[in-house]
Structure 1
Amino acid sequence: MGLTRGDAATIKRVYNNNVLLAELGDGSEMVLVGKGIGFKHKPGEAVELEAADQRFVPDGSYAASHVAGVLGDAPLEQIELAQEITALAQVELKLEPRQSLLVPILDHLGFAVQRARDGIKVDFPLKWEVAQLYPAEGNLGRRVVELITARLGVALQEDEWVAFALHFVNQQWSKADFSKTVSMTETIARVFSLLSVRWGRNVDENALSASRFVTHLRYLFARPAEVTGAASIQVDVLASVREAYPEAADAALEVAKLIGGALRRDLGNDEISYLALHTSRLYVEMLNT
């Protein structure tokens, strides 16, 4: 937002000495952050926009009041660190620097720091799954934990990286609904477990074919049910796979049931066909190792 000297707004709410919610002349809202910007100010008073070190304009992820509330609960050093983490995710994971990432990162950062200070330990049951399914996000999550410890002088619980990694995954695929990201991660892990049990051998989840399979499964969770997102398959792929590798075809049908249950809808023939292509590649690769 371009500012000229003297641009001002009306204070709607003061959250603390460093954060306030302001209303612009056109009726829109903006969150202003700056050391002491809210000190001795009251709603209804004017405030110069250039007095703020940071200005947050709603981008559609959250209402301005929600952003202001989260920022208002956090020390300035945590706000700045959350922005740095968001910037890292933008560069390394190609994520958009949206408030839908900044706000949950800042919120989780505050809780993680408080837990560390209080000596409270929590379980992260998806640790193995996240490490296997989202290596890039997991690696950045570990760096984030190290960064927080170095910057704030607080030794976080080592496995906090899991939660940060899931926030990065959430931004890519499920946006603001974190519960869907957790469900997706749990379901994909169950898919690989199902294949290993069916075929009597562990599937190499680090293989390229497995990585492509995970990408496809994540896509199924990410897209709306009414959007096909791919050209219709004109041949009976499932029948072809069944003729060559019946175990891979049967596995695809079971995977389809598992995914369908998580999505609460039945997968279409084309979707099952694409699953069969992936399971056949995984099956052949497993036989050749």
Structure 2
Amino acid sequence: MRIEKILNNSVVVTRNDANQELVVMGKGLAFKKKIGDTIDPSGIEKKFILEKSGMTEKLETLLRDVSPVYLNIAAKVVEYARGHLPYDLDEYLYIALTDHLSFAISREKQGIVLKNPLLWEIRKYYQQEYKIAWKALEIVEEETGYALGEDEAASIALHLVNSQLTGEHMLRAVQVTEMVSDLLNIVTYFFKGNLDDSSINYERFLTHLRFFAIRFLRDERLPELAESFLYDQVRLKYRRAFECTERMDIYLKERFHSGLTKDEQLYLTVHIHRLTECLQ
């Protein structure tokens, strides 16, 4: 492998056998090297592919101010997360996590602790991501000696959620989390707080809400495909669940000036009925 770009003494860009742009890391890997020189494979500690245009330039800019130690940690976290999450992670996560971890350790050194206002929601609604985030904190402690707390675990979990949104701004992940929380609260209050959050139907409903919120906020709405007969059957058969979706529709119209389509209302009604069947 030959060096195509030097990001710093420990990080260079090259290409693999498939001609994909490859970022490789290793202590002193580029020391006294120049573009076109070969890389000693024995010195490579970590490597990953960046396929999106502009990613290498963003990483180069970041590494002017951030130690490659944090990129190495981020790469380990991404590798672990990819082995434990059922969805793809956007490669921008390498950059976002590197930047976040560098800033988090800097704050820790100064004794500054930032509270995550969404800690409770993230811990409850994104349990898988939150669990992986704690593994990330173990890696951070192993590599840096600093033990970060639950607020940072929540922040890392939110980065994983955001990566599912294909590199959109972190604000979108916050909006998704808040919408899921609000919609779930509507269902909880409507059925007087008697939901079984340990049931498989609860997990299915939560997953459906997450993907609904992502589509809604992207304005990628389900088309009106449901036959009126099926819609009317569900509305009449699952009256209480349907009434609950009407409350959700009111909330969405008041908050976002856009309500549920008939298909979305139908799917939500079916999920709510499964979740609350024993309560009706």
TM-score normalised by structure 2 residue count:
0.80
Change (3 A) 1:179 1:254: same
1: CA distance, partners of 2:275 / 2:248:
13
C-alpha RMSD of the superposition: 3.4
Change (3 A) 1:65 1:218: same
1: CA distance, partners of 2:129 / 2:102:
20
Letter in 1 for 2:246: L
Please show how residues 98-247 of structure 1 align to structure 2 within 5 Å. Answer: 98-172=90-164, 174-177=165-168, 178-223=170-215, 225-226=219-220, 228=222, 232-237=225-230, 239-247=232-240
* Contact 2:242-2:265 at 8 Å conserved across structures: no
Change (3 A) 1:103 1:32: same
Letter in 2 for 1:228: L
Aligned position for 1:281: 274
- Could you tell me how far 1:95 is from its partner in structure 2? 4.6
- Could you tell me how far 1:154 is from its partner in structure 2? 0.6
1: CA distance, partners of 2:150 / 2:221:
40
2: CA distance, partners of 1:33 / 1:96:
23
Letter in 2 for 1:176: G
Change (3 A) 1:134 1:236: farther
Aligned position for 1:35: 27
- Could you tell me how far 1:91 is from its partner in structure 2? 0.6
- Could you tell me how far 1:162 is from its partner in structure 2? 0.5
* Contact 1:61-1:99 at 8 Å conserved across structures: no
2: CA distance, partners of 1:89 / 1:155:
20
Change (3 A) 1:147 1:277: same
- Map Cα deviations across residues 103-156 of structure 1 (whole Å, 9 max, x no partner): 112111111111111110111111111122111111111121122123311121
* Contact 1:248-1:279 at 8 Å conserved across structures: yes
Paired residues, what number?
Answer: 273
Aligned partner of residue 92 in structure 1, secondary structure: coil
Aligned partner of residue 84 in structure 2, secondary structure: helix
Change (3 A) 1:163 1:62: farther
* Contact 2:12-2:24 at 8 Å conserved across structures: yes
Letter in 2 for 1:181: A
- Could you tell me how far 1:183 is from its partner in structure 2? 0.7
2: CA distance, partners of 1:140 / 1:83:
14
Change (3 A) 1:80 1:133: same
1: CA distance, partners of 2:60 / 2:188:
48
Aligned position for 2:61: 69
* Contact 2:12-2:25 at 8 Å conserved across structures: yes
1: CA distance, partners of 2:81 / 2:261:
34
**1:250 is matched with which residue: 211, 221, 243?**
243
TM-score normalised by structure 1 residue count:
0.78
**1:80 is matched with which residue: 72, 78, 95?**
72
Residue segments in structure 2 that go unaligned for 5+ positions in a row: none
Q: Does 146-155 or 278-287 show the bigger shift?
A: 278-287
Residue segments in structure 1 that go unaligned for 5+ positions in a row: none
* Contact 1:133-1:214 at 8 Å conserved across structures: yes
Change (3 A) 1:198 1:124: same
- Could you tell me how far 1:246 is from its partner in structure 2? 3.3
1: CA distance, partners of 2:220 / 2:88:
25
2: CA distance, partners of 1:159 / 1:254:
32
